[in-house]
């Protein structure tokens, strides 16, 4: 048993050294001598595990696959729905942080090397097909109404986009920044899934055009989509605010919307969902038999950043949709958007006595500030 543990520890040490050399020196610098120096052992010990450069390269390729597969498994396991899992797995495949950027550069190196090495090419193909199979399985679970051929074709498109972003982002981080990769991947999935299942083809989706008209990311939230506000949402959003008791006689909600659209409109987010999933929401389409339900607005958040602090107003979730985590996910989307802009702190105002809302924000980590809120109206609405 002690010998087996020693062998396992030795293998782990050599694997860590292999990965360290690979990320720093690339494939050309990945030699048995370099791995031995990094592991603090003799070349003979390395050659005992990897008798040739080819064996070392194959081991390094397997390390890359194992690292990404473990994270994909974890992302899928933590997701609440197949749609959430699909988005998490796709985002796991693009370069969003230093670790994934490192893996992307290694991946591109192996892709280039496989063009002249049949063994590496076979290993690379197997890894890609495993990723494609995972995406296909999750997409089929997310859209059980789709045919196998449609699922297969869309899965290939999503995987190709992820791999392309990963490749381009590894050499041009300015044009393919993490934010752009996240937005592009999320928008593509939103467009692909469209609105809740109907007989209409994807091009007729009511969801896709609204997302494509903005430069801000959309997020999947279970059976809902968090996306930037579109002009056509105005009536539904006002109805939502009224249902949630957010409107006041001295604040014209439509004027508030008009003003917001002149300043950081991409930070005005809405949650779009199917009325059959959220019964009783104002603005729902007809529920008549045989008619497809159109998505409706079940949540909103109007955020902004003035260069010093971020602010959130009109956070709302339809009463019939509350208790599903939509408010938390909406605030998470707001926080990510503001953080991307360098916002160090978010402020918000809560009316006195609104204990449920106070409890909601406390659960998200917000605490009261030792300050008194003052205001002065410059333009009367009423």
Q: What is the pLDDT of residues 10-52, one digit of tens each?
A: 666 777 777 677 667 766 777 778 878 887 888 888 787 777 7
- Do 241 and 300 touch, CB atoms closer than 8 A? yes
- Mean pLDDT by runs of 10 across the 382 residues of the chain is 54 71 70 80 79 70 72 83 89 82 74 77 83 92 88 92 87 86 88 51 32 43 79 92 89 91 92 57 39 70 94 93 86 91 92 85 88 85 72
pLDDT of residue 205: 32
Q: Is 297 buried (19+), middle (13-18) or exposed (0-12) by CB count in 10 A? A: buried
Determine the pLDDT at residue 264: 92
Kindly report the pTM of this predicted structure. Answer: 0.46
Residue 300 makes CB contacts below 8 A (sequence gap 6+) with: 229, 237, 240, 241, 268, 269, 270, 271, 314, 315, 316, 330
Indicate the domain borders of the chain: 52-193, 204-382
Q: Which CATH number fits domain 204-382: 3.40.50.720, 1.10.230.10, 3.40.630.30, 3.40.30.10?
A: 3.40.630.30
Say how far apart CA 82 and CA 194 lie, in whole Å.
Answer: 15
9 φ, ψ (degrees, to nearest 5): -65, -40
CA distance 327 to 153: 34
State the Rg of the chain over Cα.
Answer: 25
| Strand extents, DSSP E, 224-355 | 224-228, 268-273, 296-305, 310-317, 346-348
- What is the number of other CB atoms lying within 10 angstroms of the CB of residue 356? 7
Note whether 52-193 and 204-382 share their fold.
Answer: no
Q: What is the pLDDT of residue 159?
A: 92
Place of tokens 């690379």: 124
Backbone angles phi, psi at 304, to 5 degrees: -165, 160
How far is Cα 60 from Cα 72, in angstroms, rounded to an integer?
Answer: 19
* 54-82: pLDDT as tens digits: 776 667 667 666 777 787 888 888 888 88
| Helix runs in the chain, H state only | 2-29, 32-39, 43-49, 53-78, 82-92, 98-114, 118-142, 148-171, 178-193, 207-212, 234-243, 253-260, 326-340, 355-363
Superfamily of chain region 52-193:
Tetracycline Repressor, domain 2 (1.10.357.10)
pLDDT of residue 160: 93
Q: Give per-residue pLDDT as tens, 118-156.
A: 877 887 788 888 889 999 999 999 888 888 888 999 999
């Amino acid at each position: 048993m002690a010998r087996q543990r020693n062998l396992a520890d030795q293998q782990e040490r050599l694997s860590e050294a292999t990965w360290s050399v690979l990320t720093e020196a690339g494939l050309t610098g990945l030699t048995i001598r370099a791995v031995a120096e990094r592991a603090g052992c003799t070349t003979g010990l390395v050659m005992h595990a990897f008798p040739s450069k080819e064996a070392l390269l194959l081991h390094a390729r397997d390390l890359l696959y194992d690292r990404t597969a473990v994270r994909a498994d974890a992302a899928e396991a933590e997701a609440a729905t197949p749609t959430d899992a699909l988005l998490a797995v796709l985002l796991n495949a693009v370069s969003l942080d230093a670790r994934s950027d490192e893996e992307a550069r290694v991946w591109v190196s192996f892709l280039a090397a496989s063009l002249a090495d049949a063994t590496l090419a076979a290993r690379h193909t197997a890894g890609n097909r495993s990723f494609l199979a995972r995406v296909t399985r999750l997409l089929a679970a997310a859209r059980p109404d789709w045919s196998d051929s449609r699922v297969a074709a869309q899965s290939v498109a999503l995987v190709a986009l992820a791999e392309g972003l990963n490749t381009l982002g590894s050499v041009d981080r300015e044009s393919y920044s993490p934010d752009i990769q996240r937005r592009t991947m999320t928008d593509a999935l939103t467009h692909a899934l469209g609105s809740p299942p109907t007989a209409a083809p994807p091009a007729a989706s009511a969801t896709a055009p609204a997302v494509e008209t903005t430069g801000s990311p959309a997020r999947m939230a279970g059976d809902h989509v968090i996306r930037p506000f579109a002009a056509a949402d105005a009536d539904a959003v006002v109805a939502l605010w009224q249902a949630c008791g957010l409107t006041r006689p001295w604040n014209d909600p439509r004027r508030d919307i008009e003003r917001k659209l002149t300043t950081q409109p991409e930070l005005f987010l809405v949650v779009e969902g199917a009325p059959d999933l959220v019964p009783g929401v104002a603005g729902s389409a007809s529920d008549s038999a045989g008619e497809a339900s159109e998505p409706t607005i079940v949540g909103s958040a109007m955020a902004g950043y003035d260069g010093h602090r971020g602010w959130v107003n009109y956070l709302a979730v339809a009463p019939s949709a509350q208790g599903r985590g939509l408010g938390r996910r909406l605030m998470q989307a707001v926080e990510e958007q503001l953080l991307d802009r360098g916002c160090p702190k978010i402020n918000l105002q809560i009316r006195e006595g609104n204990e449920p809302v106070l409890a909601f924000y406390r659960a998200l980590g917000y605490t009261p500030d030792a300050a008194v809120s003052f205001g002065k109206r410059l333009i009367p609405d009423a």
